[in-house]
Structure 1
């Protein structure tokens, strides 16, 4: 608990609008990715079918879609940002790994790697001073 509080104090002291814009852009990217994930469900099923021994494909599909959509909205508003990012990390790690297991797509590898790096940054940085988390904390 002490570490989270010290990280929040450091982040609030070093906050800036470009970092907030990056957090919002990450949230929008994840939200759009979740919507496209649902829209292109057949393409997702084709990728999962290449992994012949993968059980729980329907569970994974619903987890990824819900985590990207809800997590993206939460990250945009800065509401429980660290928890939303923790839900994104397994998805992004698997997205990077799938590029090496299945057919390599440089575009997907680049997008998922950048999103993973930014998520790890905001996992430590938090939501910042211009967020719902900060607003609710100041209302106490």
Structure 2
């Protein structure tokens, strides 16, 4: 717990608007990816076709969509950012594996890797000074 507090203090001292804009853009991107999963495009169905035969296939689709939508909103406003990113990491690792195995396009692999790198950055950095977490902390 002390490590998280020290990371938060460091992030609050070294925060800037471009980093906050990156967090907001990441949240918006994840939100819109979740919405695209709900729209049920054929590409998403093709990617998940190997998992569809398993019992948890529908659970995986539901988890991906809901985690992206709720996590995207939480990351964008800076509310429980680290928790939201922990929910995104299994999805992003799966996206990298699926794209690396050739079930998706190479651009999807690059997009998944970049998104995962940005998520890992915010996993350590936190939500920053211009976030709902910081606002609620200051209200105590």
Aligned counterparts of 2:32 and 2:90: Cα–Cα separation in 1: 18
Give TM-score, length-normalised by structure 2: 0.94
Count of residues in correspondence between the two structures? 140
Query: Who is 1:116 aligned against?
Result: 116
> How much does 1:49 deviate?
1.9
Query: Who is 1:77 aligned against?
Result: 77
1:24 aligns with 2:24: yes
> How much does 1:42 deviate?
4.1
Q: Secondary structure at the match of 1:118?
A: helix
- Deviation above 6 Å: which 4+ runs of structure 1? none
Cα contact 2:67–2:87 (8 A) shared by 1: yes
Q: How does 1:1-140 map to 2 (within 5 A)?
A: 1-51=1-51, 54-140=54-140
Aligned counterparts of 1:104 and 1:39: Cα–Cα separation in 2: 18
Name the Cα RMSD after superposition. Answer: 1.5
Cα contact 2:51–2:57 (8 A) shared by 1: no
Which blocks of at least 5 consecutive residues in structure 2 are unaligned?
Answer: none
Aligned counterparts of 1:132 and 1:110: Cα–Cα separation in 2: 30
Which blocks of at least 5 consecutive residues in structure 1 are unaligned?
Answer: none
Give TM-score, length-normalised by structure 1: 0.94
